[in-house]
Chain A
Amino acid sequence: MKSVGPSRGFSLPPISASLLGNGLKLYAVPLPDLPLVSIHLIVPCGAEADPVGQAGLADLSAEMLTLGTKKRSSLRLAAEMDGMGAILSAYAGWNVTSLHISGLSEDLERLLELLREIYTEPAHAPEEFEQLKQRRIGQLIQQKDESQIIADERFQQTLFQGTPYDHPTYGTLESLTKLTFDDVKEFYRKSFLAPGSFLVLVGDLSLDRCLPWVERIFPAPGGKKPEVRGFSPPSSRGIRTWIVDRPDLTQSQIRLGHMGIPFAHPAYIPFEVMNYILGGGGFSSRLMQKIRSELGYTYGIYSSLEPRKFPGPFAISTFTPTDITFPCVQEIGAVLRSFLDQGATAQEREEAVNFFTGSYPRRFETLSQIAQRIIQAELHGVGVEYLSSYPGRIAGVSLEEISRTAREHIHPQDLLAVVVGRAEDFRKAFESLGPVEVFQ
């Protein structure tokens, strides 16, 4: 097979980084293909800073910013955004609060001015807070019908118990009910333009047009970043099963996994290549080949590792008809053990590397994708050089490294299994693996 790489005519989009006089960093990427812009204000403080018992505070505080400014009511702000065909959103990730506007380039200056106003002069209206809280509670109640979400939440909460990742970023019914308006205002005050905040502008724009303007209107970063306590994976706890009993379901949602490695770990890139072969590579992966293509147990099965500052979840996710829930889990275990025993083949390595390098340009196809690449590199402190060196680093992953990474970082004897489905049909079978707890 001819090798595939991004050398054939692909170059990264033109990313320019500037440090403004006020200390704010600005990334600008001029791309005139479509008359669109994507604007991101990034504050490096997110849900991992939610105080204990206040899950969802960072995310709720982010959305509050979109609900009016001192000059504009929430309705007026929404009407102005809609009137420009722009979409305003704000959310908290684990280590980030992001304010994002996508719109038409003809409105760039106005959108930037509004972004500044939204962030620096929020209305923080109490009636908006109450309504927002009620909306979110309504959404969480509705979410209890979504077995996939129940499975994801239960898996992460159990896996990360006692760490800053032990809750959904958007909070829980219990925590949201208790959050107060003062909590939100206090969180905003503490995290306001925390050190390391930056702006990313991508689209039909020129740096000359934006830079002086941004410098003039945006305030300087200040304050300090809230402390976040780090953690390491605990020692092996064996195989544990948590079942959420849903007698009405005809199919079980399954999550299997353990804590993985942090983004900054030297084995992170080998892990990506290894995971493609194991379960990240769709039909090219061992898990999909066995569980779907050979056995027909499921429509889809994937394994993934989330890039986080601290160890993120390594999770295998699938769903299967109730009566084959346990056989499905057994087969997954068999795939893991055989992969660890035998390692990957040279052909699997080559195909995985070719996939990552050959498809790399498509990670820079939309304005938001480009912005996300820059934001991730900056937040993890690896700089945009990471983006140009990435394909080469992927290509440098050896077969031996893949096998070693699997052996060192995949632990079939230390799995947390979360199953959402009809407990009475498979509970006993899971007891043969280790302790089982059932939740209603």
Chain B
Amino acid sequence: MKGLPEFSEHRLGNGLRLLVGEARSLPMISFQIHFAAGSRYERPGITGITHLFEHMMFKGTRQVGAEEFSRIIQANGGSLNAFTTTDNTSYYENLPADRLDLAARLEADRLQNLLLTQENLETEREVVRSERKLRSVNSPFGLLVEQLVALAYEQHPYRWPVIGWDSDLRSLTLEDCREYHRTHYAPNNAVVVIVGDVLPDEALRSVERHFGPIPSQPPPRLTITPEKPQRGEKRAVFKKVSQVAAFFAGFHIPGIAHPDLIPLQILCVILSVGRSSRFFEKFEKPGKAVEAQAEVGYPPFFSMDPGLLQLSAVASPAISVDTLEKEIWEETEKLREQALPEEEVHKAKKQARSYFLQGLQTLFSKGLLAGLYQVRAGDFRLIYPLLDRYESVTPDDVLRVARQYLRPENRTVVTLQPASPKEHEELGKVE
């Protein structure tokens, strides 16, 4: 496919998987290492450890001092970061092509020789608690989404937030971190992706040299409890200081490898992507909703295990959130009554195709697509037919997935009710 390299696959003796994609538009590469480590592998009591550990990976090794990793990469013309999700922890360096070996050496070094100290843990614990305040506690809808997810899932680990509960963050120990490193940070639990101005042989040599000597580990014992089908609507109210009322809803849907994800994505495009979408025309344009959205994610950001189609709306001052919610369900109900016109589905398919191509413009995003499909769906090759899969969606497919997943019994709803500062305080501390 134009714009998406043919990734070649290599496997090291210790189980490390390497994917190499040649794309020569710039003399740059994106070097990525994705671990099958996400909050889905945690358990109550240590929630947030995956993400906290991501921070600890920058705190140095015997050869490289704390935060030196970042300094060295940037001083070589690179940029870098890492992110943790429910399903993976990923580290990346986007840098000049002739610095490939540097990235491989530094990543292999911290995989094998990470220094974990109590002092570093204490600093990063506070940094992460500050991050939690930024993303969840003090953000307008962060705690609302946490509540939605915690209510929608009763058993599966997706029920706690990736950043973890504050009480767990406060009590995590250095030994928890060491155990986490031993269990999840092994070559046989990782995928290295190198994409850009690179030759596969050169990439393989470099990765073999630096990662080859690292021993594999016994695979982690997985105890992930699946979620049972939901058999009736669940509802909750969340009160906090807010200028607006809103509701967030979630419908259980399948995971990344399931064929229904693509028609579900098309359904969400029909509902809320673009200014001719149903939600914009019916709710945002006439000023009923400040925003109204439906989303299942997009490739490669579909969840590994059954996820949620999230549908949310922020009421404008002109309408009550209850009325807005009722009207939105009337709108989604239409999708379940009869097949949509061919033209509307065709439009959504072209939108999805165009946005997919827009998303392939950087080496980083090309690498992410392959790497995350490998970690989350078990096969990076699933990325190649994605455009064809959009193309093959029919109005009947959209009708079928709407009927199957947008059922009220499959729905969880949390409503944000604005509270005064006094009431907010009386309801207890948020953290």
Query: Which chain A residues border B316 with CB–CB below 8 Å?
Result: 134, 138
Interface size class of A (residues with CB under 8 A): 35 or more
Q: Judge whether B9 is part of the interface by a CB distance below 8 angstroms.
A: no
Shortest beta-carbon distance from A207 to chain B in Å? 19
Q: Judge whether A292 is part of the interface by a CB distance below 8 angstroms.
A: yes
Contact A355 B77 (CB under 8 A): yes
Contact B287 A134 (CB under 8 A): yes
Contact A358 B354 (CB under 8 A): no
Determine the distance from Cα of A211 to Cα of B227 in the docked complex, in whole angstroms.
Answer: 58
Contact A34 B360 (CB under 8 A): yes
Determine the distance from Cα of A366 to Cα of B365 in the docked complex, in whole angstroms.
Answer: 11
Contact B286 A142 (CB under 8 A): no
Query: Which chain A residues border B275 with CB–CB below 8 Å?
Result: 66, 74, 78, 81-82, 88
Determine the distance from Cα of A188 to Cα of B71 in the docked complex, in whole angstroms.
Answer: 48
Known contacts A78-B274, A248-B241, A299-B134; is-contact A292 B127 (Cβ 8 Å): yes
Query: Which chain B residues border A134 with CB–CB below 8 Å?
Result: 287, 316, 318
Q: Judge whether B78 is part of the interface by a CB distance below 8 angstroms.
A: yes
Query: Which chain A residues border B210 with CB–CB below 8 Å?
Result: none
How many chain B residues touch the partner (CB < 8 A)? 80
Shortest beta-carbon distance from B88 to chain A in Å? 21
Contact B284 A358 (CB under 8 A): no
Q: Judge whether A262 is part of the interface by a CB distance below 8 angstroms.
A: no
Interface of A is mostly: mixed
Contact A142 B314 (CB under 8 A): yes
CB nearest to B363 among chain A residues: A365
Contact A75 B124 (CB under 8 A): no
Query: Which chain B residues border A282 with CB–CB below 8 Å?
Result: 70, 74
Interface string of B62-84 (1 = CB under 8 A from A): 00001100110011111100000
Query: Which chain B residues border A366 with CB–CB below 8 Å?
Result: 361-362
Query: Which chain B residues border A358 with CB–CB below 8 Å?
Result: 76-78, 95-96
Determine the distance from Cα of A283 to Cα of B72 in the docked complex, in whole angstroms.
Answer: 10
CB nearest to A133 among chain B residues: B287
Q: Judge whether B421 is part of the interface by a CB distance below 8 angstroms.
A: yes
Out of B122, B285, B358, which one reaches A36, CB within 8 Å? B358
Out of B74, B97, B99, which one reaches A355, CB within 8 Å? B74
Shortest beta-carbon distance from B23 to chain A in Å? 8
Known contacts A79-B347, A82-B274; is-contact A354 B130 (Cβ 8 Å): no
Shortest beta-carbon distance from B29 to chain A in Å? 11
Contact A8 B285 (CB under 8 A): no
Q: Judge whether B276 is part of the interface by a CB distance below 8 angstroms.
A: yes
Contact B3 A33 (CB under 8 A): yes
Residues in B411-431 with C-beta less than 8 Å from chain A: 421, 424-425, 430-431
Known contacts A1-B75, A8-B96, A359-B77; is-contact A294 B347 (Cβ 8 Å): no
Residues in A114-162 with C-beta less than 8 Å from chain B: 131, 134-135, 138-139, 141-142, 144-147
Determine the distance from Cα of A359 to Cα of B27 in the docked complex, in whole angstroms.
Answer: 10
Contact B140 A145 (CB under 8 A): yes
Q: Judge whether A435 is part of the interface by a CB distance below 8 angstroms.
A: no
Query: Which chain A residues border B290 with CB–CB below 8 Å?
Result: 135, 138-139, 141-142
Known contacts A36-B357, A145-B243, A147-B138; is-contact A297 B79 (Cβ 8 Å): no
Q: Judge whether B156 is part of the interface by a CB distance below 8 angstroms.
A: no
Out of A36, A83, A321, A357, which one reaches B347, CB within 8 Å? A83
CB nearest to B133 among chain A residues: A251
Interface residues of chain A, those whose CB is within 8 Å of chain B, are 1, 4, 6, 8-10, 31, 33-36, 66, 74-75, 78-79, 81-88, 102-104, 131, 134-135, 138-139, 141-142, 144-147, 247-251, 281-284, 289, 292-299, 319-321, 350-351, 354-355, 357-362, 364-367
Give 11 new A-B contacts, CB below 8 A, not counting A31-B25, A78-B275, A361-B26.
A4-B99, A10-B26, A74-B275, A85-B351, A88-B275, A141-B290, A145-B140, A299-B128, A321-B133, A350-B75, A351-B71
